[in-house]
Amino acid sequence: MMVKRASGEVVRVSIDLNFANEATKSFDFLGGFGFERLQADATLVRYGKSGMEVDVYRGRKSFELSFEISFGGERYSLQTIMRVSDPVAANAYRRYAATTLEGLREGLEQLSAMVKTFAPRALRGEAEFFALLDEKKHTWSYEYALDVLAEQLRPMAESAFKRKEYSKVVELYEKILPRLTATELKRLDISRARAARA
């Protein structure tokens, strides 16, 4: 909720929507996976079982509802867990921002339904699943870094191509080869041929 102070400054204020009670109701199914509630307050409900923790929380400023699970000292978001079984759904996933009691209830029901759909293996504590997550996290990190690099190098390569600096084009495009479009691959071929003649 936005509140205007006497100074005229507008600030966002978190409202207690009885989060602890509502989250506990929506996530009571975690007991079936052996979890017990360890903590419940205005923005966090934490569950635990032998070496694992589950956090359901509401951002103090963003009001976004989130789910994370900890296993072996690592934390995994729901989106990370989703990426293993359904990358398309994971990419489309957005956290629900709850600013009213009705919105909180709706958001928690959506979140719990997604956890039931995508996280049973994680909730069971399957070591193989977490090993797969760790393996995938490294791949995803590499893919993300390559995407960022491509966004940085594309304009530089395009500019070098226009200036006919073909060896520079080759150098830049080869760094992001897996991300090149058909047009960029053609420019790379042209640049290689022209750089070889120079």
Higher pLDDT, 80 or 198: 80
pLDDT of amino acid 3: 52
Check: CB of residue 55 under 8 Å from CB of residue 44.
Answer: yes
Element (H, E) at 11: strand 10-12
> Residue 192 and residue 167: Cα distance in Å, rounded?
7
Across the range 36-57, mean pLDDT stands at 96
| 122-146 confidence digits (pLDDT tens) | 999 999 999 999 888 878 788 888 8
In whole angstroms, how far apart are CA 92 and each of 87, 95, 180, 182, 184? 9, 10, 24, 26, 28
In whole angstroms, how far apart are CA 63 and each of 38, 66, 98, 105? 22, 9, 5, 13
The per-residue pLDDT of the chain, averaged, comes to: 91
